[in-house]
Amino acid sequence: MRIIKLFTLLLLIWSAGQSESTTADESLWARESAFLLQRGRIEKGVFQPLTYGFSENLEFSTHALAFFVMPNLTAKWSHQNVGDWYFASTHGLIYPTPLLRLISREGTGGIISPEFDIPHLFGISNGILVSRRFQSELITLKAAIDVGLKTGKLDERTTIDLPLVYPRLQPFYTGCGLRFGFDIRHQFTSKIDVLTDADWFVFPGSDEGFAWEHKTLVAYHSRRNRFSLGYKLVYGEYPFGKAWHLIAPIFDYQRAWGK
């Protein structure tokens, strides 16, 4: 708690001296929008994925730390903007089987009971992002469809009934899931912004039909570094019923290389 207080105090002291323009370069720290990283720029967070600006209209990202136990890759492709509206589509592939098999074990660390077999699972995700800047706000609307493919039976008792995790694995049980949401990023100064978002997960044909997630992150960033701190609020339906979870604090440090 002392660290949080110290961080917020430093943020307040620092921001009191700021009087810069509040416009930001959308190509920096732009993961939650339709904007892409500049070509050659790389951003990596402790928890955020490694993102690489491959070209003017293509960007790749992967959760690098988890890659060896959960191979994953997402491409973000920018499309023709319509007036002030910017469009991008996302296309992702994930193979969580090695990770799920790793945590399906006896003793401490056993998240999934070892009495069940985990088949090969492939997750395919396709989505669309639409962003528009209004003075100091960057607003992004998003929608995606997640398809879960498997090579064998996945026992329903293998679900991990925890916030954040449960809805992300649910397409492997239901076949598909839909995601909708919006992000609002308000630029207070050129170096401080607040991101707030909301996401809805729905699973057609499932008894446990939805999850709602909201987060707010206060971030301080330069061109090379970004510190963010905030909370996440989750309301969802699990096999045991509906539940709220407040996850706080959440934090991340991101570093950028290249342009």
Partner 1 sequence: MNRIKMIVGLFVLLCLAGCDGLVTKFESEEKGILYKADHSIDPPTSADTLTVMTWNIRFGARRLGWFGDACGDRVILSEDEVMLGLEGIANKIWELQPDILFLEEVDVESKRTGYIDQMQWLLDHTYFNYGAYASMWQAQYVPSEGLGRINTGNAILSRWKITDAKRIQLALRSDQDALTKYFYLRRNLLIAKIAIPGLDNFYGACIHAEAFSTDDTKKKHVEQCVEELTKITDDDGLFILGGDFNLLPPGSDSTDFCDEDGCSDEHFHGKNDDPLHKDGSNYTPEITWLQPMYDNFSCAVPLAEFQSDQLHHFTHTTIHPDGYWNRTLDYLFANVDFIAGSDSTHQEAIPLSDHCPVTAKWRVSK
Contacts with partner 1 by CB under 8 A lie at: 1, 4-5, 8, 11-12, 15-16, 104-116, 157-158, 160-162, 188, 192, 194, 216, 218, 229-231, 239-241, 245-249
CB of 65 to partner 1, least distance (A): 19
Question: Buried (b) or exposed (e) across 173-192, using 16+ Cβ within 10 A?
Answer: bbbbbbbebbbbbbbebebb
- Give the nearer residue to partner 1 in terms of CB position, either 51 or 170: 170
CB of 166 to partner 1, least distance (A): 11
Q: How far apart are CA 171 and CA 166, in angstroms?
A: 10
Q: Residue 180 has which token pair?
A: 């909708």
CB of 219 to partner 1, least distance (A): 12
CB of 8 to partner 1, least distance (A): 5
Asked whether 220 and 227 are in contact (CB, 8 A), the reply is yes
- Give the nearer residue to partner 1 in terms of CB position, either 149 or 194: 194
User: What are the phi and psi torsion angles at 235 (to 5°)?
Assistant: -130, 130
Which residues have C-beta within 8 Å of that of residue 97, sequence separation ≥ 6? 118, 119, 120, 121
Q: Which of 126, 129, 57, 54 is nearest to 94 (CA)?
A: 126
* Distance (Å) of CA 114 to CA 68, 120, 149, 156, 181: 21, 16, 21, 14, 36
- Give the nearer residue to partner 1 in terms of CB position, either 82 or 165: 165
Q: Which of 231, 236, 256, 258 is nearest to 246 (CA)?
A: 231
CB of 5 to partner 1, least distance (A): 8
- Give the nearer residue to partner 1 in terms of CB position, either 92 or 236: 236
CB of 158 to partner 1, least distance (A): 8
CB of 248 to partner 1, least distance (A): 5
Which residues have C-beta within 8 Å of that of residue 90, sequence separation ≥ 6? 74, 75, 76, 77, 125, 126, 127, 128, 129, 144
Which residues have C-beta within 8 Å of that of residue 107, sequence separation ≥ 6? none
- Give the nearer residue to partner 1 in terms of CB position, either 128 or 194: 194
Dihedral sign, CA of 54, 215, 140, 221?
negative
- Give the nearer residue to partner 1 in terms of CB position, either 138 or 176: 138
- Give the nearer residue to partner 1 in terms of CB position, either 200 or 238: 238
